[in-house]
Amino acid sequence: MAVGVFDSGLGGLTVLDAVAKRLPDVDFVYYGDNANAPYGVRDADDVLALTRAAVSRLWDEGCDLVILACNTASAAALRRMQEGGLPEGKRVLGVFVPLIEALTERDWGDNSPPREVDVKHVALFATPATVASRAFQRELAFRAIGVDVEAQACGGVVDAIEDGDMILADALVRSHVDALLRKMPEPDAAMLGCTHYPLMEEVFQEALGTKVRVFSQAGLVAESLADYLIRHPNMRGGGAVSKFLTTGDAPKVSNRATAFLRRKIIFEAA
């Protein structure tokens, strides 16, 4: 039985890789909306419409549970989809909460009132749309008090990674880190709020310095999903085969994904 994993492009493959290694007995259907990527520069209504279409396609594949492995979709669409009502037996989860639970040292699923935590100054690196949504700050406020968040919109980084131009991505990351440090000179921690950014984690860490703890999402989401499926084993869904779907040019996306994960990936047309 399969779980759906959705991203606007290739970034969600970092999450897929981690959850597949953590849960080798679970099949996954990955859906990349490469034809419409990147989402980070789109408005909230546009992101919501595209996310709904993608999630519906994964439900058609028998995936009762869908992970939005896209921070922009999690920020702009998740809450609105949940508040609007989901079909019976279907669930959609985002990638913000596991990151925030790790930052605030909470157990997965701990919904107790917000409390003071050790971290006081947090740098958030994300796409322009994620930063504009303030979804990270909203979710953090449910769990912690007294935390100052400085967000940096990292324009261009996703496009460079999707194009395979890691030299440009490196330069852009360092530029964005410099911009944030001018606003918050001494962050305690940094949150990489985009599933593309784990590929640049070492660059973020080097630019920020060794005193800053960098939180990345892939492994945290994998552990959170493992815990969720223990508590909700019925949410593995009715899908039975792992596959990769894309709205883009399947051979081209397959080549990029293979380079992205450094193992053979074959996408099919969605």
> 2-34: per-residue pLDDT in tens?
899 999 999 999 999 999 999 998 999 999 999
For residues 18 and 218, is the Cβ–Cβ distance under 8 A? yes
Strand partners, 148: 121
**pLDDT band (50, 70, 90) for residue 239:** low
Query: Could you tell me what percent of the chain has a pLDDT over 70?
Result: 97
Domain(s) of CATH 3.40.50.1860: residues in the chain? 2-95+219-269, 97-216
Supply the pLDDT for residue 234.
87
Q: What is the rounded average pLDDT of the residues 105-117?
A: 83
Res 106 pLDDT > 70 = yes
> 42-53: per-residue pLDDT in tens?
999 999 999 999
Is the CATH number 3.40.50.1860 carried by domain 97-216? yes
User: For the whole model, what pTM was predicted?
Assistant: 0.91
Any idea which residues carry the catalytic annotation?
Answer: 70, 194
Rounded Cα gap, residues 179 and 185, in angstroms: 10
CA 165 from centre of chain: 21
For residues 77 and 52, is the Cβ–Cβ distance under 8 A? yes
**Residue whose C-alpha is closest to residue 66's, from 11, 128, 14, 2:** 2
* Neighbour tally for 120: CB within 10 Å: 13
Supply the pLDDT for residue 19.
94
Rounded Cα gap, residues 67 and 95, in angstroms: 8
* Domain 2-95+219-269 class in CATH: alpha beta
Place of tokens 């999450």: 15
Q: Is 13 helix (H, G, I), strand (E, B) or coil?
A: helix
